[in-house]
Amino acid sequence: MKPSKDANFLRELATLVEAGLPPATAMQKLKSHGRNWIKVEAELNKGSKLGRSLYKYGFISRYEQEVVSIAEDAGRLPDGLRTIAESSEKRAARIRHLKSKLFYPFSILMVAIGVNTLVLLIGQSGRSTLDILINAALQFIVAFFITRQLLKQLDKDACTLLSQAWSMRSQTWYQLLTETTVFGVLYWQQQSGISFQEGFKRTARLIDHKAFKKQLSLLSNKCAQGHSVSDSLNQSELPVTDQFKQILLTAEQSGNWSIALSRQLSLSEEELHRTVDVLFAWLPRIFYLFVVIIAANVIL
């Protein structure tokens, strides 16, 4: 399902569960979303947990499964479902926004390739028609492939992106994504009574990259030894911003850890969106550069 549809389905499911229906019964009352939907119902009827079943058949990500699983164990399933529904809506809005930035330059590039091909076919270029058409087809394929790869990156869940982009951990966007992902789920875990030690350990299971997992395991061990989260964070190499570390330290000293973290996570998420927006602002220029190259090819 698309993110927007995910959000609607999750909100409806939360409402039914909140009304007192078991997850399996609630799923039966909702409109079917294909064969996997039926498989989820079957899993639930066998006694499986909702979070695990939804993740198994591709309805939610690993991160979302963790939130739902925590919510199930804490008796707060409707809250957990609404949390990931809101996250899904924000992701859908971000994807639409970034796609809109690519549509116009991609269209211009396609027109440029088409015009270049017509000029070469009509003019006396000295090249065969087949050669011109093959070259145009290759240009279309390359442009389409690059655009598709960029859009595929947008659809990846945060845990996958953090694992695959570890080499970019010094970049601000990566650090902000780490904050919103790792401490976003940690905040939910804390609200459900899970210790910092266990929280970091559970979060490590969501990440594939060994170095990232190692840092989360280190944080878990430090917390188990009695260190505070901010102190443990300073002793690790988990990629977060210095501002975030300072906020955690201040929050612990003031005794308002949960409230301060919630506010900072909102700020980090907003800053992440702005940072990604700036990065994507450069992408149209790449397409326009291709247009200039094609135009120069026609002129010369």
31 burial class (0-12, 13-18, 19+ CB within 10 angstroms)?
exposed
Give the pLDDT score at 182: 92
4 and 17 Cβ atoms separated by less than 8 Å: no
70 and 80 Cβ atoms separated by less than 8 Å: yes
Give the pLDDT score at 33: 60
Residues 49-64: what's their mean pLDDT? 87
Is 60 exceeded by the pLDDT of residue 299?
no
CA 255 to chain centre: 31
Give the pLDDT score at 124: 57
Give the pLDDT score at 215: 94
Question: In the structure encoding, which two tokens stand for residue 32, read together?
Answer: 């079917």
184 and 265 Cβ atoms separated by less than 8 Å: yes
Run of H or E including 17 = helix 3-18
> Token match 């991609």: residue?
106
Half-sphere exposure of 29 (CA within 13 A, CB side): 14
Is 50 exceeded by the pLDDT of residue 4?
no
The Cα–Cα gap between 24 and 72 comes to 13
pLDDT band at residue 298 using 50, 70 and 90 as cut-offs: low
The Cα–Cα gap between 212 and 218 comes to 10
Percentage with pLDDT > 70 across the chain:
93
- Number of neighbours of residue 160 by Cβ within 10 angstroms: 18
Question: In the structure encoding, which two tokens stand for residue 175, read together?
Answer: 């650090």
- Helices 283-299 and 77-122 cross at an angle (nearest 10°) of 10
What does the chain come to in residues?
300
Ranking 150-154, 222-226, 272-276 by mean pLDDT, the lowest is 150-154
Model confidence pLDDT, tens digit, residues 230-283: 999 999 999 999 999 999 899 888 888 888 888 888 899 889 888 877 877 777
45 and 108 Cβ atoms separated by less than 8 Å: no
Q: Which domains does the chain have, with CATH numbers?
A: 7-87 (1.20.81.30), 160-278 (1.20.81.30)
Beta-sheet strands, E only, within the chain: none
- Tell me if residue 282 falls in helix, strand or coil: coil
